[in-house]
């Protein structure tokens, strides 16, 4: 058996972070995909929690070798998703969790195909999303409206996902997300079928 991957996407304010943080506590053998960067570690940040921190030379060398699923350069610093870390987690039979937007999902789906399970998480309607974004008090009115508009673009991609979760009740949504995570480990693509059949017929 090998590891497998679960992508979770959805609008800002839908509850992704809270749900994933709780799921990670309750499901064994999970690796949460964390970006790699060349920028300096800031005060209070922790290696392997906030980012994986590497040198510019190492990052550029890995780019040349094709070791990044995706990467970008922002303000003279590189950011990217390392395939080396993902491959290591899969070899250790872990469930790799990605918190990415619809564009990132498109890239991962193209790379890994049926090895991926995917969930789109959202609120029951636009009014509720706006209420949550406003209630948390971290964004200006203009930023909230921008997030709502971005959500409308993301919602148009729902049919590209395997599962849709409407986060009306945290505990019930968490229960469904955990069920999806556990069942994804049983997908046929998570097994080396040739090896399995050899063992089964011996």
Given a contact cutoff of 8 angstroms between Cβ atoms, the answer to whether 61 and 71 are in contact is: no
Give the C-alpha separation, 56 to 77, whole Å.
Answer: 8
Whole-number pLDDT of residue 100: 86
Phi-psi region of 167 (alpha: psi -120 to 50; beta: other; left: phi over 0): beta
From 15-29, 141-155, 184-198, the region with the lowest mean pLDDT: 184-198
- pLDDT level of residue 168 (50, 70, 90 thresholds): very high
**Same structural domain for residues 100 and 70?**
no
**Same structural domain for residues 108 and 166?**
yes
**Same structural domain for residues 61 and 118?**
no
Whole-number pLDDT of residue 131: 92
> Average pLDDT of 81-95?
90
With 70 as the cut, is the pLDDT of residue 1 above it? no
Given a contact cutoff of 8 angstroms between Cβ atoms, the answer to whether 4 and 96 are in contact is: yes
Is the pTM of the predicted complex or chain greater than 0.85? no
Domain tally for the chain?
Answer: 2
Q: Are strands 77-82 and 36-37 parallel, antiparallel or unpaired?
A: antiparallel
**Same structural domain for residues 86 and 98?**
no
In tens, the pLDDT along 112-125 reads 887 899 999 999 99
- The b/e string for 134-159 (b: 16+ C-beta within 10 A; e otherwise) is eeeeeeeeeebeebbeebeebeeeee
């Amino acid at each position: 058996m090998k590891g497998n991957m679960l992508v979770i996407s959805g609008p800002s304010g839908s509850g992704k972070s809270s749900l994933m943080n709780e799921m990670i506590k309750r499901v064994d053998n999970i690796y949460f995909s964390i970006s790699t960067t060349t920028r300096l570690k800031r005060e209070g940040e922790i290696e392997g929690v906030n980012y994986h921190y590497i040198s510019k030379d190492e990052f550029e060398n890995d780019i040349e070798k094709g070791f990044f699923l995706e990467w970008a350069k922002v303000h003279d610093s590189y950011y990217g998703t390392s395939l080396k870390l993902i491959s290591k987690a899969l070899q250790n039979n872990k469930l790799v969790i990605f918190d990415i937007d619809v564009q990132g999902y498109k890239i991962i789906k193209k790379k890994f195909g049926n090895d991926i399970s995917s969930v789109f998480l959202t609120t029951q309607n636009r009014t509720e999303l706006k209420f949550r974004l406003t209630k948390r008090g971290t964004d200006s009115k203009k930023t909230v409206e921008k997030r709502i508009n971005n959500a409308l673009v993301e919602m148009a991609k729902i049919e590209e996902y395997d599962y849709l979760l409407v986060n009306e009740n945290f505990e019930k949504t968490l229960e469904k997300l955990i069920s999806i995570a556990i069942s994804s480990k049983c997908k046929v693509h998570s097994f080396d079928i040739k090896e399995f059949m050899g063992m089964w017929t011996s």
